[in-house]
Amino acid sequence: MNRYRKAAVLGIIVLGVFACALLTGDSAVAGKKKSFGTGTIIPPVPVWVIGSYDTDGKPNMMTASWVGICCSDPASVTVSIRESRYSYINILATRSFTVNIPSKKYAAETAFFGTVSGRDVDKLAATGLTAVKGEHVNAPYLAEFPLVVECRVSTMVPVGSHTMFIGEIVDIKVDESVLDENGMPDPMKVSPFLFCPGSNGFYGTSELIGRVGELQRKIKR
Ligand SMILES: Cc1cc2nc3c(=O)[nH]c(=O)nc-3n(C[C@H](O)[C@H](O)[C@H](O)COP(=O)(O)O)c2cc1C
């Protein structure tokens, strides 16, 4: 093989390796990613406590993270619940629930609400927290939690393991002690926390990174 032919073969090999790296996504710029396949390892997710009454009128609370705001008008939230939960039966019967946003100081109670069933244990009696009858819906909210939302079920969507309950927001109630100078809920004072599927941990949210209006201006058009 002469000098030129050797150089050509070497060039083809180098180009081939480069193309393979691009095709497999194995690029130094993006970093190498490990595939987790299907599943719900998508951290973080919110931590909400869902309030409902059972058919005897006993209040119950369950922790939920398969949740979110799903519509602005009508203002609505979605909560996905397995059929096996006591809360599922309750919400099906009353067509009502509350969303209660826990502060960090209620992390232990929130973990308890998410690991014990109201079928077996009176969770309100065990935690000593106070259930208040909703003003507009047939569901209880927690007096101690700083931000609570009363919801009326508008739609139910069976998805698979879980059924999505879409709840129209009827009223949001916020403790005056957690409002900021503009009268809006101050996240630093509400002090909510997040759940990370995978590590199974609760994580704090204690820092303002920036406001959207200011941040977007940092990117030049
Ligand atoms: C952080 C966390 C998040 C959870 N999210 C959900 C959820 O979104 N949907 C669900 O059906 N169960 C969820 N669970 C499990 C229920 O809260 C748990 O099974 C609870 O005991 C049900 O209570 P109940 O039977 O009184 O309704 C979660 C548990 C934890 C700890």
pLDDT 10s digits, 34-83? 999 999 999 999 999 999 999 999 999 999 999 999 999 999 999 999 99
Counting Cβ atoms within 10 Å, is residue 36 exposed (0-12), middle (13-18) or buried (19+)?
exposed
Taking the C-alpha atoms of residue 133 and residue 87, their distance in angstroms, rounded to an integer, is: 16
**Which of 48, 58, 60, 63 maximizes ligand 1 atoms within 8 Å of its Cβ, making it the mutation to test the pocket?**
63
- The pTM for the full model equals 0.89
Q: Which two tokens stand for residue 25?
A: 């996504």
How many angstroms does the Cα of residue 82 sit away from the middle of ligand 1?
8
C-alpha to C-alpha distances, 202 to 100, 101, 161, 210, 218, nearest whole angstrom: 16, 14, 23, 23, 31
**Are 87 and 139 a contacting pair, CB within 8 Å?**
no
How many angstroms does the Cα of residue 80 sit away from the middle of ligand 1?
10
Q: 50-61: per-residue pLDDT in tens?
A: 999 999 999 999
Residue with the smallest CA separation from ligand 1 atom 31 is: 114
pLDDT at residue 156, as a whole number: 98
How many angstroms does the Cα of residue 25 sit away from the middle of ligand 1?
37
Q: How many CB atoms lie within 10 A of CB 199?
A: 11
How many angstroms does the Cα of residue 114 sit away from the middle of ligand 1?
4
Phi/psi zone of residue 92: left (φ > 0), alpha (ψ -120 to 50 degrees), beta? alpha
pLDDT at residue 187, as a whole number: 97
**H-assigned helices in the chain:** 3-23, 86-94, 107-113, 123-127, 187-190, 212-216
Q: Which two tokens stand for residue 15?
A: 């180009």
Residue with the smallest CA separation from ligand 1 atom 29 is: 114
Taking the C-alpha atoms of residue 165 and residue 168, their distance in angstroms, rounded to an integer, is: 10
> Ligand 1 pocket by C-beta < 6 Å: which residues?
47, 60, 62-66, 80-82, 85-87, 111, 114-119, 162, 195
